[in-house]
Structure 1
Amino acid sequence: MSAALKRGWCPSLFRPMESGDGWLARIRPREGVVGEPVIAALAEAAARHGNGLIEVTSRANLQIRGLRPDSIAPFTEAMLAAGAADPDEAIEARANIIVSPLLGADPAIAAETAEIARAIRHGLADPKFAGLPAKFGFLLDGGGALTLGDLGLDIMLRASGAVRWELRCGGNTLTLDAADAASRALGLAAEFVGRARPGPARHAGPSRLGFVACVDGLAGAVLIMPPFGQMRVEQLAALGALAREYGDGGLRPTPWKSLAVGGVSVSDAAALLAAATALGFISAPGDSRLDIATCAGAGRCSRGEIDTHEAAAWLAARRPAGAALLHLSGCPKGCAHPGPAPLMLVGRAGRLDFLTDGRAADPPALRGLSLIETPAVLETAA
């Protein structure tokens, strides 16, 4: 891949990144949950200081779009005042940690999971970690009703029994006691300071949507998804209100670009799902929008060569649910789905290139298609 296609860093609250519609900042939820006070503050601040768009990322973060140079500082101050981030810039810069999405809401998750997550987070403040590779990440899967499946990051810790954990990195696995998990993970991370990442593939897989029951079967979580991972602040605020009414008040971003509401009773699940659907969220499998992976696109990303969200919505209305995965990329970087996809459309100067079983940067089979031409091409190739 050429230098011109090099991906940017993972933005944080203290280190936003410039994009096509302004600057991006991310909220990295501590222990995986965005609490009630933060939801309200985030919705207000993103509307005041950004362009009102918020995304759920594949790192289980919330990404705020459209910040301006003069609004970055007041947005940061508002988030710190709400407790949305650690005031230690070093922690926020390095704490790329994905935890079990239902941590704190599912009693079946290993009890030591939160403690391990905190220890890793605060350990990363040590200046010796300043040279960790960009996007270096930790995965912490404590089990429960919603595991992280085959999702892979640079260093992975997975509960494997009573106070026992598996530490995995680069194809190697070590089983150890929970008490040693954080220190061993940090020790391993220190070996990558100044070096290249191990770089395992992330296989997030399809998102589970709807109600997920926890161990007692009487309560659990509801998972919903903003179409193509993006919502407006009004939707976030309204969903936060639903989380207060039907659940524990928090929102849990997942690496599947969905949001989980914990503490939902079986009897309340249907009402919550119906209300979320009315707000514009996807609340059940079988929606054709779930079969399209897409990025921010033109107008939001400086590299985007086509409006991907508009094109994806148009295509979703013309594809049957359950069709082969389509990766619609605004440019050859392929940020939304780095691995091969069965069907691939790549924006090029307002038109689309097409290929099958490949990545966005691969040579296309067809070039310069109009959007109107693509449904027939996709149907023939499927």
Structure 2
Amino acid sequence: MGAVVAYLDVAATTRVDPQVADVVLHWMTEDFGNAGSRTHEFGARAKKAVHEARSFLAGTVGAKTEEVIFTSGATESNNIALLGLAPHGEQTGRKHVITSAIEHKAVIEPLQHLKETRGFEVDFLEPGPSGRVSTEAVLERLRPDTLLVSLMHVNNETGVIQPVAELAEELRGTATYLHVDAAQGYGKVPQDLAAPIDLISISGHKIGAPKGIGALVTRRRGWDKVPLSPIMFGGGQERKLRPGTLPVALIMGLYEAVKLFLENRERWERDAREMREQMLAALGKTRFHLNGDASNSVPHILNVTFDGLNAEALIVRLKEQVAIATGSACTSASYTPSHVLMAMGLPAEIASNGLRFSWFPDQVGDFDPHGLAETIAHMQPDVATDR
């Protein structure tokens, strides 16, 4: 197998910057204290560092320091948010939840669990061909017993931005909580997450931090905390919602990665958008279907289906040129049609063969989109390469 020329799968995970790796190593090998140790300087330094990281991350979404708890990533954050709110729903008789059919499995499966084992009613809204769930569609389903709306920020397969900020304003005066899975959007569309969203799940490895670290923002409504119950026990760390020894090195890696990304975000967005335009121009040599609303998408994710070509076969054919995927890394091994594209109502042939290209401009290497397009065009039946 030859060397991969371009890494176009950052929606699955990103490279850890060497500067971030150095920070992680420092807190593993030099300042290696336990942030819960109160009797010596090693622990005091770790505790202070964690507080600084927590305060910084809170500021990125307009939250208070104490409203951020550290987790292993967005999947755990989603589970704490969804399963942790369930006892309040049971106590108050509010067991109705609204979500979308295009959510990540880390949202869909906990909600299915609540539906099947605890009698919750879950509405799975379908977005239509645009891939964007409308605020109106959510509001139409609101009921007096609606406990929660859970809607992702940026879809992990299509890159389509969901109207979470608008929805947060609409729900502000209601008793319904809003949870946002921001794994793909955190840092990329920062203004959205400053809206009054009650619960925000964050994943570090989508933004240059190591795998295994993330956060859950639990924003107060005035003096009232989101009434979460713990789903794990033992130690009482992180407001008793996520017990266990804090991974100081990973937390500091997340802190450093987010700082670096936000410092360079404007350049990142410009370069990512420029690469998107180059990709679409090059793909004009092929016949393809763009999946999702391009006018409401992040600049670094592109989902396309090429006429007459099987996605899995195409990935194999292109593996010497690019690293790409058919969809979520959590389900890509199953070779089933994308549940996201199917929920958008796309024809089975398109939904079964969608390819996701996702990039950070500084991680693609010496990539030539025109060379990629030429390869694809030559594979397509009855397609002229000069189209």
On whether the aligned pair clears a TM of 0.5, the verdict is no
Q: TM-score, normalised by structure 1?
A: 0.30
Q: Going by fraction, where is strand more abundant, 1 or 2?
A: 1
